[in-house]
Chain A
Amino acid sequence: DGGITQSPKYLFRKEGQNVTLSCEQNLNHDAMYWYRQDPGQGLRLIYYSQIVNDFQKGDIAEGYSVSREKKESFPLTVTSAQKNPTAFYLCASSARGVGEKLFFGSGTQLSVL
């Protein structure tokens, strides 16, 4: 079955540590996105990528980094510069020309130890 896989489901970060969240899709979608979800605040865009080897900052990119070396993969690194990383992180993808129809993964809950 086609879909988006995020791993791990739960992740814990120590102070000063970088952590990487995985996102893989087999839908052959060109565009991929990372969102952060905090209680009561909806979905905020961190980074997005329309094609391989290219990505743009979203509304809250500070303290995060991404790469897009393969069409299927769009990992997100939460760096130590992100002072409030505890949140639910969602990865999504969309087909070319249908950017409004996002397919989401099941999310990663990141917590700080």
Chain B
Amino acid sequence: GQQLNQSPQSMFIQEGEDVSMNCTSSSIFNTWLWYKQDPGEGPVLLIALYKAGELTSNGRLTAQFGITRKDSFLNISASIPSDVGIYFCAGHNFGNEKLTFGTGTRLTIIP
């Protein structure tokens, strides 16, 4: 099955830095989502985007639905220790029973 391409694969940043990551697909999606997985836990939904060009925020997180419908972006401002984890993008089309997940971006904060 298809998996979406996320970049970067991993990031090592200092506390307080801003973070940017993206997700690309060879096919279009009606919905883009971003999930976060804490170590040893299941992913949790952060943001859902339903319209091309849409920009949505959730606290320090901001995500965008790309105009082409083939990509999405996630930004985290002023990172804090609890931001550590793996961030997954996911694409979904109406009437489809399944999500397509990205390969993940692992975020590590350097002391």
Interface set of A (CB-CB < 8 Å, partner B): 4, 6, 31, 33, 40-45, 48, 50, 56, 58-60, 90-92, 99-107
Q: Are B90 and A100 in contact (CB under 8 A)?
A: yes
Q: Count contacts on B: residues with CB < 8 A to the other chain.
A: 24
In angstroms, how far is the closest chain A Cβ from the Cβ of B102?
A: 6
The interface residues of chain A lying within 8 Å CB-to-CB of B43 are 43, 90, 102, 104
Q: Are B41 and A58 in contact (CB under 8 A)?
A: no
Q: Are B92 and A99 in contact (CB under 8 A)?
A: yes
Q: List the one stretch of B53-61, B76-84, B93-101 in contact with chain A.
A: B93-101
Interface centre among A42, A90, A105 (most CB of B within 10 A): A42
Interface centre among B44, B45, B101 (most CB of A within 10 A): B101
In angstroms, how far is the closest chain B Cβ from the Cβ of A57?
A: 11
Q: Are A45 and B1 in contact (CB under 8 A)?
A: yes
Q: Are A41 and B103 in contact (CB under 8 A)?
A: yes
Given A100-B99, A102-B45, A105-B42, does the pair A42, B1 have CB atoms closer than 8 Å? no
- Partner among A31, A100, A105 whose Cβ is within 8 Å of the Cβ of B31: A100
Closest 3 CB pairs of A and B: A104-B42, A59-B1, A100-B92
Given A40-B9, A42-B102, does the pair A50, B48 have CB atoms closer than 8 Å? no
Q: Are A42 and B3 in contact (CB under 8 A)?
A: yes
The interface residues of chain A lying within 8 Å CB-to-CB of B97 are 31, 48, 50, 56, 99
Q: Cα distance A101–B84 when bound, in Å?
A: 22
In angstroms, how far is the closest chain A Cβ from the Cβ of B43?
A: 5
Q: Are B1 and A104 in contact (CB under 8 A)?
A: no
Given A42-B101, A106-B42, does the pair A100, B88 have CB atoms closer than 8 Å? no
Q: Cα distance A4–B42 when bound, in Å?
A: 10
Listed by A's residue number, 19 A-B pairs whose Cβ atoms lie within 8 Å are A4-B42, A40-B9, A40-B103, A42-B88, A42-B101, A42-B102, A42-B103, A44-B101, A45-B1, A48-B98, A56-B97, A90-B43, A91-B42, A99-B98, A100-B31, A101-B33, A102-B35, A102-B99, A106-B41
The interface residues of chain B lying within 8 Å CB-to-CB of A92 are 42
Question: Does B104 lie at the interface of the complex (its beta carbon under 8 Å from any beta carbon of A)?
Answer: yes
